[in-house]
Amino acid sequence: MVRTLSEAIRLQMLLNKDFDLSYYLQAHEPEMAANQASLLLDLDRYKTTSGGNQYQPANVLDVFKSIIPMISSIRRRVRANFRADPQYLIAGMKTASVLESLQDYMVNFSETRRGEAGFKGDTNIGFSKMSILHSDVIPDNKVYVVYKPTGDDLSRSVLIDLVYKPLYMIEEVTNSVKRTFVRSRSALEIVNPEALGVITVSNYQDLLG
């Protein structure tokens, strides 16, 4: 029982962190746009002129290939703004699964060396080397491009997680029923929004469900 409770507390704390991260990333989108690190990918432009939900590309990956040049563009903008290349993509569960499939597709193309069509060069290299993080609380229409400092260079920090009381217990009484809650006191802050970028994907529901 203690092990089960400990695991439940750990998972809830992680979910709370994810929620805070999603909230602050969305709150800083106006600054990303002001830094010219915000782009829109409208998937409706890939529909056929006959209407309906038919797409000209053969499959979902063909549609989402168009996001790779946008990621490259955001990377270059962050490099110009912050003098560093972002290494992470943060997305919702469905969008992240498509991005992971795209990474595997690109790597397989480059490994075959048999002349198949596909991305190559800096566009592919930058995207294929980025780490993709996913969370249920990140909207599926958002792909955040994020830089994380290497080593212990705190002056280049982008996201700061301050924990000043890891765990504490409180008791509340509701309708004569006493409940005990385990909480943590921490603060998540974004200190360098110029090291962030975002791609908003519109009209994606027919593809991702």
d(CA 188, CA 21): 7
pLDDT, tens digit, for every residue of 139-176? 999 999 999 998 777 888 998 887 766 666 777 787 77
| Tokens 């027919």 sit on residue | 206
d(CA 61, CA 174): 51
The phi and psi torsions of 108 (rounded to 5 degrees) equal: -65, -40
For the whole prediction, is pTM greater than 0.85?
A: no
The phi and psi torsions of 12 (rounded to 5 degrees) equal: -65, -40
Among the listed ranges 39-53, 117-131, 190-204, which one has the minimum average pLDDT value? Answer: 117-131
Number of compact structural domains in the chain: 1
pLDDT, tens digit, for every residue of 121-148? 444 458 888 999 999 999 999 999 999 9
What residues make up the domain containing 143? 2-208
54: Cα separation from own chain's centroid: 28
